[in-house]
Structure 1
Amino acid sequence: MNTRELQDKIIALKKEKGMCILAHAYQSHDIWEVADFVGDSFALSQYAASVPQDTVIMCGVRFMAETVKVLSPQKRSILANPLAGCPMAEQIDQKMITWLKDKYPKHTIVAYINTTSSLKTAVDVCVTSSSAVRIINNIQNDKILFVPDKNLGEWVAQQCPDKEFVFFRGGCPTHMRIRKRDVEAARKDHPNAKLLVHPECLGEVTDLADFAGSTTEIMAYAKDSSEKEFIIGTESSIVQHLQFECPDKQFYLLSRECVCHNMKMTTLADVYQCLLGRSGEEINLTDDVIKGAKKSIERMIELGR
């Protein structure tokens, strides 16, 4: 089969079996084209909760499939490729959070949503890259312990000067590989291009950007802008998607290091095999984990309004 034939089979199968396909923005475009919804990690889980289908296939990484299960425990959440994890989500566990709580008892613990559901049970509130500033400004406590992404945390701290921050020294390996020298080289090659980066990048990169924001915000900026050239400082698939959506504009990858190998694991064939019941992993969480993780997510929704 070629790509189009496989996509047609997937579309027919998902309708026949009553399954919903979700794709994170970092998935390849051939997967985007068969998905019912494409978005960031939290938007995907919110969409899953709203659809009538009782089985959801997540084309993303493990913590995203877990979040779907937390918000929709009555549904089956299937991770399309069981090997697809998130290195940042695995950098910190409950034992470390317990130690941090003892060390910083007066701090509100804020966790990036890119964490395991188990970790979410031990924190006060979750945030996304697009909602972090608003949520932290709405927290009454002026002492914030931000985990696990130090780069995102420092970027948020710049916009929340009334808060006192402590950071866990974690982060996204993909975004952390991007350096100031990459910005300098890209600017030299494309002097008329706007630089759009994700705040998971190092400060030496975000400080030089024309815009820093979530993946969804980066794409919206590029599509809405009257500018015609953009350097993209996040996962490489975003360049491909923008090339499809804005064929009249030019998009350049900031660095050849902008590749998330975990996101690249999921293939169109994986999705097909999941629909046939031959592949994928159903996510199962205990009632205690679901209840505890949901509490920090609900707090995020409350403070993010």
Structure 2
Amino acid sequence: MKPLTLLRSPGIESETINLSRRVNAIPASLDLDAEIRRLKREKNAVILAHYYQEGEIQDLADHVGDSLALAQAAAKTDADVIVFCGVHFMAETAKILNPTKTVLLPDLDAGCSLADRCPIDVYSEWLKQYPGHTVINYINSSAAVKAVSDIIVTSSNAVSIVEQLPKETPIVFGPDRHLGRWVEKQTGREMVLWPGFCIVHEQFNARKLARLTDAYPDAQVIAHPECEESVLDRADFIGSTLALLKYVTDHTEHKQFIVATEHGIFHQMEKARPDAQFICSPPNSGCDCASCPYMRLNTLEKLYLCLHDGYPE
């Protein structure tokens, strides 16, 4: 599948420029933490932050979690305004669950490489090849893709849901091929996989990981199932972001962990286990750690502005 070229409308382009100007206009003396807390109280707002956000945003959030936990928090909140510090599909999910509430995303450009690799027009045409199949899609997908799905799963529950389907049920799984392949391996079920992937998890390198485990022989390797199979084969534990955090918290007998997922989770891991050392699994690129460029678009300044101005919605 060819890489997608994402085209932005002039309106989105101008909004991006406008946002940059508004950020630059914030007085340097402004106490952003205090102002965000004040605005949150005044507007009866709740801040939801994904584990992959910067630590300073996680520390201001009312709920920090993975996609499933945040969707559950969004469904239960009695706040009038939901500020979603994550990426676009997560805010979309929160809006689907709360159609009458205001849902804000600090930066509308905070997309998702995985969701963007599954455009609804191409995906819908592809699905026509598989009539009679149960269509299972990962929550990391657009609202339009969710709308053509029979079942929506997260990395936390994908295996258990597939296991509940009758053995004779043919399955299409999208949009993450690596998660789909891992689910196949765990369940013994063959599925038709859409060839999508996350740019962060795709870049972890099994050969470099092998060298790193030689350097840290006592370290536990923990990995997200969106990683390539060659990386997962070297892992001591595979699970969702929440499951990785729980593994680190529960297994106090281990003091070193090599972590193959987005670097933002280190903030919660280090808070939970200050006695442990966390080492980023090496990516293909020259950088030391894997960081999602879309998640990093959300900043304290943009969080303040969206609460202050009530948009972008």
Gaps of 5+ in 2: 1-26, 283-287
Residue 146 (str. 1) matches residue 173 (str. 2): yes
Structure ranking higher on relative contact order (CA contacts 8 Å, 6+ apart): 1
Once residues 208 and 266 of structure 2 are traced to their aligned partners in structure 1, the CA distance between those partners, rounded to angstroms, is 16
Shift of 1:138: 1.2
1:105 positional shift: 1.0
State how 1:193-232 maps to structure 2 within 5 Å.
193-225=219-251, 226-232=253-259
SS in 1 for 2:231: helix
Q: CA deviation at 1:17?
A: 1.7
The equivalent residue for 1:37 is: 63
Structure 1 position 191 matched with structure 2 position 224: no
Mapped to 2, the partners of 1:91 and 1:227 lie a distance apart of 37
Call closer, same or farther: CA 1:106–1:164 in 2, change over 3 Å. Answer: farther
TM-score w.r.t. the length of structure 1 is: 0.88
SS state at 2:244 partner: helix
Q: Which amino acid aligns with 2:255?
A: K
Question: What's the offset of the Cα at 1:30?
Answer: 0.7
Alignment of 1:281 onto 2:304: no
Q: What residue number does 2:270 align with? A: 243
SS of 2:103 mapped into structure 1 = strand
Percent sequence identity is: 38
Per-residue deviation, residues 245-304 of structure 1 (Å, max 9, x unmatched): 2111111111235111101111111111111117x420xxxxxxxxxxxxxxxxxxxxxx
Contact 2:114 2:199 in 1 (8 A): yes
Name stretches of at least 5 consecutive residues in structure 1 with no aligned partner.
283-305
> How many angstroms does 1:179 deviate by?
1.4
Corresponding residue for residue 290 of structure 1: none
Moved more, 94-103 or 188-197: 94-103
Please give the residue correspondences for 1:148-187 in structure 2 after superposition, counting only pairs within 5 Å. Answer: 148-161=175-188, 163-187=189-213
With over 3 angstroms needed to count, the CA separation of the structure-2 counterparts of 1:57 and 1:143, relative to structure 1, is: same
Q: Among 271, 281, 291, which residue is 2:303 paired with?
A: 271
Tell me how large the CA RMSD over aligned residues is: 1.7
Q: Deviation of residue 6 (structure 1)?
A: 2.2
Aligned equivalent of 1:289? none
SS at match of 1:247: coil
Partner of residue 302, structure 1:
none
Q: Report the Cα distance in structure 2 between the residues aligned to 1:2 and 1:139, rounded to whole angstroms.
A: 56
**Conserved? CA contact 1:177–1:257, under 8 Å:** no
2-structure distance, mates of 1:26, 1:2: 26
Change (3 A) 1:242 1:236: same
| Alignment: residue pair count | 280
Which residue of 2 is the match for residue 46 of structure 1? Answer: 72
1:25 positional shift: 0.8
Contact 1:142 1:164 in 2 (8 A): no
Q: What SS is found at the alignment partner of 2:192?
A: strand
Q: 1:148 to 1:154 in 2, by over 3 A?
A: same
Contact 1:46 1:71 in 2 (8 A): no
Any idea what the Cα deviations from partners look like across 1:59-79, whole Å, max 9, x if unmatched?
Answer: 000000000000110111111
Cα pair 2:259 2:278 within 8 Å, conserved: yes
Structure 2 residue identity aligned to 1:209: A
Rounded to whole Å, the distance in 1 between the matches of 2:101 and 2:210 is: 48
Judge conservation of contact 2:114–2:196 (CA < 8 Å) in 1: yes
8 Å contact 1:37–1:47 — kept in the other structure?
yes
> Matched residue of 1:53: which SS?
coil
Say whether the 8 Å CA contact 1:178–1:257 is kept in structure 2: no
Separation of aligned partners in 1, 2:297 and 2:53: 9
- Residue 274 of structure 1 aligns to which amino acid in structure 2? C
Decide whether the 8 Å contact of 2:280 with 2:289 is kept in 1. Answer: no
SS in 2 for 1:164: coil
| 4+ runs deviating over 3 angstroms | 1-5
Tell me which amino acid in the other structure corresponds to 2:173. F
